[in-house]
Structure 1
Amino acid sequence: MAHAIVSSLLDQLKSIAQDQVKEKWRLVTGVEQEVGKLTTNLQAIQAVVEDAEQRQMKQDKAVTFWLDQLRDASYDMEDVLDEWITETRKLQLDEGGDDDDDDDNDSAFVTFLTKVCSFFPAASNCFGGFKQLSLRHHIAVKIREISKRLDEIATRKDRFNFVENVSNNVRNPERVRTISLIDEGEVCGRVEEKN
């Protein structure tokens, strides 16, 4: 299960990186390195997660705790990435227009900023620029927090001496040969095969 979550996160990170290049969306300075570090950590974790899941089945409580922390961090990261994708798409749709669904915490500042921007005709997209900057900062803070958590999780994985790439052995185990123990005298039909 954790393998699927980590794979999904890696796919989302790849998709976001491609969107950033295509749409010229950038995160706050320094966060791109965090995203790169996240990707590296997730790839390292993905290599050992199947061995960890096998050990979890053997009632290894420390590994179970490690996998739980990995799942929690992965779900949090997935939420942040979903938020990033949703908000960037909203901004693209609302490009040039004002938003009426502002957060209550920022509503006074947003109202002030909107009034200030209206006095400067050259800055026609002033509010959108603020909204983009606010979004990028918000996402950047969350990415840094989750990146720190995944750093700790990736560091702790080394303590367990997991075996990398166990997937080939797990998915293709050698099949045990079986034979049927039927009394051929009691088989009805197929007379030709009987003799």
Structure 2
Amino acid sequence: MKTHWNLFIAFFRVGILGYGGGPASIPLIQKEVIEKYKWMDNEEFGDLLALGNTLPGPIATKLAGYIGYRVSGFWGMLNAVLATIIPTIILMIVLLASLSSIKGYDWVEGMTAAVIPVVGMMLGVLTWQFVAKSGSGLGWVKTILMLAVLFVLLQLVGVHPGIIIASLLAIALLIKDKPKQADRSRKEGDPS
């Protein structure tokens, strides 16, 4: 029961504090899952995030669903997903009911303006962690080259991110399959 409570609290905090949508929630999920509850390590989280970003739908609920399932099975998944979306549902109902009466206040505009740099910094830290992981895995030259090519494709050429993700997944599958084929060829040609 304590595990379910911890799952609910962890993802409820993410849901209530994840101002700015799914990408802004990722550092909060990372903090809860890795540092606070130690349900997985940074490498596992990075792999999960990479996989989650290739699937359609909101990233926060995908992460909550997988982590909840991993920690406590089907009921853990349901618990974590509900904990992630309940704050949004409640806040949307409350805010939509009162938005027209409060949107002109300076403190509302100030709050919105103040949150933007915080979310930007959290995403920047998370981005640096992924770049560092890529640099240690692929090597810094390949990482910097990939970052430059991706920047050109995304920002200057305007290629849709979905096309880039699908292309990189296809390339990764082809590259990963080649060593297996080479191993099979060696085994088939090996007389022993």
TM-score of Structure 1 vs Structure 2, range by shorter chain? under 0.3
Return the TM-score normalized by structure 1. Answer: 0.24
Return the TM-score normalized by structure 2. Answer: 0.24
Larger Rg: 1
Q: Which is bigger in relative contact order (C-alpha 8 A, separation at least 6)?
A: 1
